Amino acid sequence: MDYDFLLLGDYFFDMIYTGLPGMPRLGCELYTQNLTTTGGAMFITAVAMRRLGAKVGWATHFGDDYYSQFVRQLALSEDLDLALVRQLPHPYRRVTTSLTLESERAFVTFTDPDANDIQTYWLEAMDHCSFRHLHLGGLMLPDEATPLIQKARSKGATVSMDCQDMPMLREQHPWHTIISAVDIFMPNAREAMLMTGAPDAESALRQLTSWGQGRVIVIKDGPNGAWAGQAGQITHLPAIHVPQVIDTTGAGDCFNAGFLFAHIVQQQPLDFCLHYGNICGGHSVQGIGGATTAPTYDQLQQFINLL
C-alpha cells in the first residue's frame, strides 16, 4: 500500500442542526429548519483529499455500533481506502451534535474511551504501508506524538498536526517542543491565540513561527482567510467570496486537505497552498457538513479559472 497521505485520527458522526432561531435555553424548546447526519473529524479531511485525487490511507477504528457503521458506509461510498481500519467487536461511539447559528456553532460531544493500544495500532499501521506525508488530526503532547513522528521520519515522510480547541490549550505546555517536532502546524485563529495569549491571528502567527524554528505555521482565520508563516516570513490570503454561509462545521478540516494537497502532492509555494485551502474551506461552508460540498479537483480548477 502506497499513499500520498496517511491520516491518523478518529471518525466522528456529526449531527448538525441548521436554521435555528437562537441558541437553546434551559426549560425552552427550539425547532430547527434542518437536521443532517454525516461524517466528521478525520473523515472530512480524508474525503476532501480523495476528491482532489490524492491516494489516502486512513488508520482509524470503527465499532459495531450504528454510528461507526453509518460513517464506514459513507467512507466506502466516497471510495476511501479502508485497508488500515481496525474493526472493533464493541461500540466505539464518537458523536458530535453541532448547533449552527449565524456562521458560528456550538458543540456537544460524546465519545467512548479510546482504545487502550491506539498508539501501538497506529505504529503497526505505519509499518504496513508507505506514505509521503503523515497528518495528525489533533494536538498531541510530546510523549504521544514523538514515536509517531520518529516512525514517519524513518520512512522518509513529512508530518503535519492540526490543533483542535481543547482544555489543554489553556494550560502551560512546552509548545515550542511540540511545534518544532512537526513540519506543518495548523491551528485556527482561536486556538492559536489561546496557545500564545496573542490578541489577534497575525500576532499569534509571529509567536508560533518563533517557537517553530523554521517550521511552517498555518492559521485558519475563517472569513478573514488564512495565514502562513515560516522563518519570519508572513503570508496572508483573503477568504474566497461565499454567496451564503450555510454551515461552518468541519471547514477547517476541509481547508487542511486543500492546503496539504497543494503542498505535498503539487509542491506549490505557501501562497498557492493557502489559495487551495481557502477554496476547499469556502466550498465546505456552502453545504451542511464539512465534506458534503468539498470540491473535486476539476471543480477546484474551474473555480481558479474563474478568478
- Other beta carbons within 10 angstroms of residue 114's beta carbon come to 12
pLDDT value, residue 164: 85
Residue-wise pLDDT tens digits, 106-136: 899 999 998 778 999 999 999 999 999 999 9
By the 8 A CB rule, do 287 and 245 touch? no
By the 8 A CB rule, do 214 and 251 touch? no
User: Scanning the structure block, which residue is given the C-alpha cell 490511507?
Assistant: 57
pLDDT value, residue 307: 66
Please give, one letter per residue, the 3-state secondary structure of 24-64: CCCCCCCCCCEEEEEEEEHHHHHHHHHHHCCCEEEECEECC
Residue type, 153: R
Cell triple for 213? 524554528
pLDDT value, residue 86: 96
pLDDT in tens, the chain (307 residues): 899 999 999 999 999 999 889 998 999 999 999 999 999 999 999 999 999 999 999 999 999 999 999 999 999 999 999 999 999 999 999 999 999 887 778 899 999 998 778 999 999 999 999 999 999 999 998 999 999 999 999 999 999 999 988 888 888 888 899 999 999 999 999 999 999 999 999 999 999 999 998 999 999 999 999 999 998 899 999 999 999 898 888 999 999 999 999 999 999 999 999 999 999 999 999 999 999 999 999 999 998 887 6
pLDDT value, residue 278: 97
pLDDT value, residue 200: 97
Cell triple for 205? 502567527
Burial of 44 (0-12, 13-18, 19+ CB in 10 A): buried
Burial of 298 (0-12, 13-18, 19+ CB in 10 A): exposed
- Please name each of the domains of the chain with its CATH number: 2-11+40-94+115-306 (3.40.1190.20)
| CA neighbor of 174 nearest in space, from 139, 220, 198 | 139
User: Scanning the structure block, which residue is given the C-alpha cell 464518537?
Assistant: 94
HSE, side-chain direction, 13 A CA sphere, residue 283: 28
| CA neighbor of 182 nearest in space, from 222, 237, 128, 136 | 136
